[in-house]
Amino acid sequence: MSTSASLRSGATAQQAFRDVMAAVVTALDGGRPHGTTVSAFASLSLTPPMVLVSLDERSRLLAIVRRSGRFGVNVLGAHQADLASVFARSGPDKFDGIDWSPSGELPRLPDAAAWIVAEVDDCVDAGDHTVLLAHVTAAEPGQGSLRPLTYHRRSFGTHTPLTQ
């Protein structure tokens, strides 16, 4: 069986895929913050600046983003693995005890490696998820030289720059 065929079905293949993927996407519902750790977030275009984010069809956050038409992306730093875990769990109270501030009228987490504000341009159904294609209206790097948090083999870490 080829590698691509093995990733098409089965619980083991789904778990393997989940293990190699992981930013906290946020939105406001009235004044209440909502957020989730996503496994699919990527740069899409430079002209115009666009990103894509994939959210589970059953996600409360997806319903909020569909209504508001916008979301924030908190690219976590390597020192924020605990936040990634908090926002990866189910439930409505992920922000309980979590510091945040409004930025661009969206919930922003402190000390992130980067912050992005995006407005949804299109929603594409894709399996059990919806892919949000969005225009970036603001982008800011974090303070200092924070390394972004990555997720691989069910473990949070960071990347190592290539040396030449």
Helix%, strand%, coil% for the chain, nearest 5: 20, 45, 35
pTM here? 0.79
Structure tokens of 90?
């189910």
- Has residue 16 got a pLDDT over 60? no
Residue indicated by tokens 């969206």:
106
Instruction: Report how far residue 61's alpha carbon sits from residue 29's, in angstroms, rounded to the nearest whole number.
Output: 9
CA distances from 83 to 6, 36, 86, 148 (A): 32, 10, 5, 13
Q: Contact 137/119 with Cβ under 8 angstroms?
A: yes
Query: Can you tell me the distance from the alpha carbon of 49 to that of 113, in angstroms, rounded to the nearest whole number?
Result: 19
Adjacent-strand bridge partners of 77: 148
The angle subtended at Cα 49 by Cα 43 and Cα 52, nearest 5°, is: 40
- Termini Cα distance of the chain: 37
Confidence of residue 162 (pLDDT cuts 50, 70, 90): low
Q: Residues 63-95: pLDDT tens digits? A: 999 999 999 999 888 788 888 889 988 887 899
pLDDT for 67:
97
